Amino acid sequence: MTTHGGRGQFIALEGGEGVGKSTQLVALARVLRDRGLDVVTTREPGGSDGAERIRDLLLNGPDERWGAEAEALLFAAARADHVDKVIRPALLAGRWVISDRFVDSSLAYQGGAGGLGIEAVRDINGIAIGEWFPDRTLVLTLPEGGERARKRDGEGADRIGGRASGYHEAVAAAFRTLSEAEPERVRLVDASGSPEEVTQRLLDQLADLL
């Protein structure tokens, strides 16, 4: 709990493309603030000045701009700065942090789908973030998510969002693997139904932290 001067809780919101993550981030932050918690919202890639610069390098340009290893290391470098400048200070001040994507995106995208393997990407990120793994990662799941994002983004999909459907299926499979390997930390949450229903499901998965 934060109200007794301890460390805040660190929540990451994850999922494939087009699962309604951004809407849910706003809704979840609002509910937690209504309960009296001091909540910081942030996002990846980005969230700090330096990391936003790296975001630009990662998401723009042709897919072949970065190889798999360079891509994973750039995400980790951005994350190291994000933790250093934003996340760790907030948590140490007793604030809650909700991040739109965090390390589990790297494990699923670069590790699971990108071919480096989840454990190799976990090692890289261990150097970047040390002990600052999320207390809970909520993964929104929606079978038709990919299609919704493609319709939304059209030709404008970014370097990673625009990858073939097989890549995004591998991302979804990797998130499932992560939830099986770490059931306490990583929870899959059904993103179908009304936004209010989804927010309630997210809250249910945080009940023990509240």
Residue ranges binding ligand TYD (CB under 6 A): 17, 21, 44-45, 59, 75, 101, 105-106, 109-110, 158, 160-161
Nearer to ligand TYD, 2 or 42 (CB): 42
To ligand TYD, the closest distance from the beta carbon of 133 in angstroms equals 13
Nearest-angstrom CA–CA distance, 169 and 166: 5
Give the bridge partners for 190, in sequence order. 141
Nearest-angstrom CA–CA distance, 165 and 133: 28
Residue with the closest Cβ to ligand TYD? 109
Question: Is-contact 78 89, C-beta < 8 A?
Answer: no
To ligand TYD, the closest distance from the beta carbon of 107 in angstroms equals 8
Nearer to ligand TYD, 20 or 94 (CB): 20
Nearer to ligand TYD, 40 or 121 (CB): 121
Nearer to ligand TYD, 21 or 136 (CB): 21
Write the DSSP assignment of 117-175 as a string of letters. -HHHHHHHHHHHHTT---SEEEEEE-TTHHHHHHHHHGGG--TTTTS-HHHHHHHHHHH
To ligand TYD, the closest distance from the beta carbon of 45 in angstroms equals 5
To ligand TYD, the closest distance from the beta carbon of 5 in angstroms equals 31
Number of Cβ atoms within 10 Å of the Cβ of 204: 11
Nearer to ligand TYD, 86 or 160 (CB): 160
To ligand TYD, the closest distance from the beta carbon of 87 in angstroms equals 13
Rounded to whole angstroms, what are the CA distances from 78 to 73, 84, 171, 207?
Answer: 9, 10, 20, 31
